[in-house]
Amino acid sequence: MGLTTNSEIVVRTTAEGAAGRAPLLRIQNVAKSFGKNVVLRDISLDVAEGEFLTILGESGSGKTTLLRIIAGFETASAGELWMGEERLDRQPPYRRRVNTVFQSYALFPHLTVEQNVAYGLRVAKRPEAEIVSRVGEALEKVKMSAHAKSKPSRISGGQQQRIALARALVNRPRLLLLDEPLSALDANLRRQMQVELKSLQREVGISFIFVTHDQEEAMVMSDRIALLRSGELEQVATPREIYGRPATAYAAQFIGHTNLLKGEVRGGVVRCGLLTWPAALPDGPALFSLRPENIRLAAGNVATAGRVRVRGTVRHQAFHGATELIRVECGDGMMLVVRTPGSGGPLDAVELEFSPTDAGLVRESPERI
Amino acid sequence: MELLVSDAKLVSGSRWLFVHSAAVFAFLYLPIAVLILYSFNGEGVGGFPPHHLTLDWYRTLFADRPIWDSVLNSLEVAFAAMVISLTFGVPAALALDRAQFPGKTLFRRLVLLPLILPGIITGLSLLMLFNVMGTKLSLMTIVLGHGTALISVATTEVFAGLQKLDRAQEEASLDLGANYWQTFWRITVPNLKLPIIGAALLIFTLSMDEIAVSFFLIGRDNTLPLEIWGRLRRGITPEINAVSTIIFVFSLVAIVFWYRLRVRGESAAEGGTR
């Protein structure tokens, strides 16, 4: 019992280490534009030692550009990168103790699997005996020893992915960058690799910066998620935090499903269509995010104390196996999406209930290009 | 019924197609067949059908010093031209593919211009240049002529190869600690092997049978095409057929070699992207 508590604490410190210890990588006010096209605006972000950080964003959000700036393939238009006392952005890519797993894997087609993995060590002129043992170890770690002598064109996509990983990790970088490495794999293999990648990261203890557009992947794997939108950081937080307390309407919608409620606060009471609940907020318009699973179908006619209750008509029901998504119209054209554990059949008129504490205040996300 | 009609049409259509393609192939290859056949003809180049098949013309050929001198000259010129055009053409292709500089479009046009410039113009202008410089015409001037005129071939071939190259591979190399120079030699060049060999073979062949530019720049030593051309004026002999046959066989071997190399390379590259 004591052990369990201990390990929980350990996990929490690695996740929250960003605030405490000196960060491994410090990204300060980085901006990037290609001509008139602004791709990144004023990005500041710290990555802790041993942290698994995911940069999450839609295509065109600038996430790959940010990764390429860290790797050194692009130069930031403004801002600085620091790795400890070292100014990273002034170094060419081959001097940075950062390695990358490319989206296309970018294995060298004219070299065997083994030679691919050995490439970094060969270039660094390590002694041959050391190269052989480290390459062997790396291949062992990704379970690819049997294919050491194959050419990359002879192995499957999933296997190429492992080689790309081994080729990067064998150099013992301080930071590993992964550019949507799982996007080319089919769904099953993808889930399997998510688990493997995560446990590999724990094992080697190297900081990972993982780029993806898949919010589920980000939630499953990350210690922290940096949500990027149109070149700006929307929110940086742990998966639980970002899901439970999204800072903006965009974050709430991008990560999981949500109901966005546009309301008006007056005299400590929120009024939102037919719904009202007390809240200690200044007067004025306000936007709330209410997760579908935080609304429940209520029985009986009396509202549970402290809960908001509303009556509505079911417009659509979608069965998802373990849960069911129900779209309920609650008068005034307000539509609420409710997630329930199995309703037991078609529904018509329902009573809904939620706790006001679950309706989180979010910032409006202004339109950007 | 209708089906039968259309079937019959199809058959007659495909028969015509067959005749047509046979005619085209005959037009392309009959001259070569005649050339080879008559190199074995005892009666010289006249008379049909050829009879008294003999290897005499090959014997005469092997005893013919001037022809072999010209073959040797041509090989030397072709090799030197190949080295020159690759030395300048490969960097030009690299510059076109990755460098951004003012006047790049002009640069590209200037590099590629000799490709469409008539050989007579190139030859004449080089001749005038060498005259002005007071350079004595020799094999060296031909080498310079071929080498410069064929830079465009090297550039186009290698540029096409560079366009197909996955740039992420070079980034991966830099990422793994190799500097730009190491990356070029360890990653870029091995991946450009096929286009470079292809360009080399093409330049070699083009130089071997080049006649227009050589004609203006020739000194005392003949190249093979000029030697053949000179002899033709004195009347055709099957000895020419014999030397042409030998060249044809060598070209065929080179083409087959190149083709197999390319097929192998392409299947590997395809597998790599999957």
Q: Does residue B42 fall inside a structural domain? A: no
Q: Does residue B40 fall inside a structural domain? A: no
Q: Quote the domain boundaries for residue B117.
A: 64-273
Answer yes or no: do B11 and B101 share one domain: no
- CA-based nearest distance B157→chain A, Å: 20
The predicted structure's pLDDT at residue B244: 86
Check: complex ipTM more than 0.90: no
Q: Does A82 touch chain B (CB under 8 A)?
A: no
Answer yes or no: do B168 and B70 share one domain: yes
Q: Does residue B73 fall inside a structural domain? A: yes
Q: Does residue B48 fall inside a structural domain? A: no
- The secondary structure of residue B41, as a DSSP letter, is B
- CA-based nearest distance A142→chain B, Å: 18
The predicted structure's pLDDT at residue A6: 42
Answer yes or no: do B217 and B122 share one domain: yes
CA–CA separation, A247 and A362 (whole Å): 5
Which residues lie across from A45 on neighbouring strands? A27
Answer yes or no: do B121 and B214 share one domain: yes
- Contact criterion met (CB < 8 Å) for A153 and B270: yes
- Contact criterion met (CB < 8 Å) for A106 and B172: yes
Q: Does residue B50 fall inside a structural domain? A: no
The predicted structure's pLDDT at residue B128: 92
CA–CA separation, B112 and A287 (whole Å): 63
Answer yes or no: do B130 and B215 share one domain: yes
- The secondary structure of residue A359, as a DSSP letter, is S
Size of interface A-B (CB pairs under 8 A): 83
User: What's phi and psi for B156, nearest 5 deg?
Assistant: -60, -45
- The partner residue sitting opposite B178, judged by closest CB among A94, A100, A168, is A94
The predicted structure's pLDDT at residue A142: 87
The predicted structure's pLDDT at residue A248: 92
Measured between beta carbons, the chain B residues lying within 8 angstroms of A169 are none
The predicted structure's pLDDT at residue A236: 95
The total number of structural domains in chain B stands at 2
- The secondary structure of residue B222, as a DSSP letter, is P
Q: Does residue B41 fall inside a structural domain? A: no
The predicted structure's pLDDT at residue B205: 87
Q: Does residue B7 fall inside a structural domain? A: yes
Answer yes or no: do B137 and B232 share one domain: yes
Q: Pick out chain B residues at pLDDT < 50.
A: 1-3, 271-274
Answer yes or no: do B1 and B84 share one domain: no
Answer yes or no: do B70 and B205 share one domain: yes
The predicted structure's pLDDT at residue B265: 65
Measured between beta carbons, the chain B residues lying within 8 angstroms of A98 are 175
**pTM of the predicted protein model:** 0.77
Q: How is residue A169 written in tokens?
A: 């990790």
> How does B146-185 read in b/e, with b if 16+ C-beta sit within 10 Å?
bbbbbbbbbbbbbbebbeebbebbbbbbbbbbbeeebbee
Answer yes or no: do B264 and B166 share one domain: yes
For each successive 10 residues of chain A (369 residues), what is the average pLDDT? 40 44 88 92 93 93 94 93 90 93 92 95 94 94 90 90 93 93 85 89 92 93 94 94 92 91 89 86 90 87 80 88 89 86 80 90 74
- Indicate which CATH number applies to the domain containing B136: 1.10.3720.10
Q: Does residue B126 fall inside a structural domain? A: yes
Which of B164, B165, B173, B175 is the best mutation test for A, with the most CBs of A within 10 A? B175
Name every residue whose Cβ is closer than 8 Å to that of residue A100 and which is 6 or more positions away in sequence: A67, A71, A168, A176, A177, A178, A179, B171, B172, B175
- The partner residue sitting opposite B166, judged by closest CB among A92, A104, A123, is A104
Answer yes or no: do B15 and B82 share one domain: no
Measured between beta carbons, the chain A residues lying within 8 angstroms of B272 are 107, 109, 152-153
Answer yes or no: do B13 and B119 share one domain: no
- The partner residue sitting opposite B190, judged by closest CB among A98, A110, A153, is A110
- Contact criterion met (CB < 8 Å) for A92 and B176: no
Answer yes or no: do B235 and B106 share one domain: yes
